[in-house]
Amino acid sequence: MGKLNGVSLFANVGVAEAYMSELGIDIKIANEIDEERARFYKEIYSDTEMIIGDITDDKVRDEIVKKSIQNQVDFLIATPPCQGMSEAGLRLKYDPRNQLITYAIDVIKRVKPKFVLLENVPKQLTTKIKYENDIILIPEFIKRELGEFYKFNRETLVMAKDHGVPQLRERSIFLLVRNDLPYTWEFPEKQPEITLREAIGHLPSLDPKLREGLDFTLEKFPDFERKKTLGLEVSKWHYPPTHSWRQVEWMLHTPSGRPAIYNEKYYPKKKDGTPVKAHHNHYRRLKWDMPSRTITQNNGVMSSLACVHPGREFINESGEILYSDPRVLSIYELLIVMSLPLDWSIPDWASETLIRKSIGEGIPPKLVKNIMLELLKQF
């Protein structure tokens, strides 16, 4: 078997596809509902035909099917939005986003690709959806609709940290091989974990840019400009994130691996001094000696789940013990933690919010690469 032609559903900005061409997989067709993300995708993967639109729209889905058949697509990857099931979301019962898998299955049944990769959060395994007159678990639905035509992998839960990615990120992934083919597709053997110290420990320290203005930033962080220059020498994406002084001060007093809510004095509080009600993973620094916790779409906000740089202990002029890098990870550090290529062609027009959100919602491409290699080596 030669080169694979592929179609990507819920394509986002193409995070999962970062190493596809390197593997000899040619993504011919992609579908994304968000115009800005579709534009982002198209600038990185100019040879892919992007179909912009809602997959629940029959006309859009018909076009995906038609173009996939025309391009002799034999591989399909689908990564439906996980917010309806994610631990970080509201998890509404019968969230409409959870139903999107049904439209992906419709495309699969009509295109009949040889290989399929379906990815989502682990909660997918215990999430029920409404389909026709039934209420059914998503895995049962997938197997009911496709079991006649495809062989499934035995284990469906996988941790990115076990496959060359310096991030925990557990995922539920179904690997399907069409029944008429002599291949089996399982997850590859586990690799040693990569800690944050190994992954980003060599990068220059950055002080945050304070929302209160540059003068105030320089007052609090006299080395701000020097550190910023050193960071930009590494990459234009290793620049200081912006935060308010109140939050920065809390994190200055928070050691690696700990949440600020347990600080005796400098803990999250409202302007009137009332303690902020927060989960123990909010305002939390990451740990140096383990992989990063799962990167979320809100990775630019310190109050989000465990997204603050681990930091390093230092003593200030007053003899006070503080911790450096009271900030979220830079975009460059996110590229590393998500296992994206460091020369990934992020469009200059893309806002920081779009970049962070798109990366946080993606599947680590090195995990995808290693899973695909487990299949490709059989050819």
Question: What whole-number distance in Å separates Cα of residue 93 and Cα of residue 31?
Answer: 26
What backbone torsions phi and psi does residue 69 show, to the nearest 5 degrees? -70, -40
Cβ contacts of residue 154 below 8 Å, gap of 6+?
Answer: 186
Please give the DSSP secondary-structure letter assigned to residue 154. Answer: S
**Residue 76 and residue 9 in contact, taking contact as beta carbons nearer than 8 Å:** yes
Q: Determine how many CB atoms are found less than 10 A away from the CB of residue 78.
A: 25
Rg (CA), the chain: 22
Please give the DSSP secondary-structure letter assigned to residue 364. Answer: P
Max CA-CA distance within the chain?
A: 73
- Tokens for 244, please give them: 């308010």
**Residue 323 and residue 285 in contact, taking contact as beta carbons nearer than 8 Å:** yes
82 catalytic per annotation: yes
Nearest alpha-carbon partner for 3 in 129, 158, 115: 115
Parallel, antiparallel or unpaired: strands 242-243 and 49-52: unpaired
The catalytically annotated residue of 4, 77, 82, 363 is 82
Catalytic positions are 82
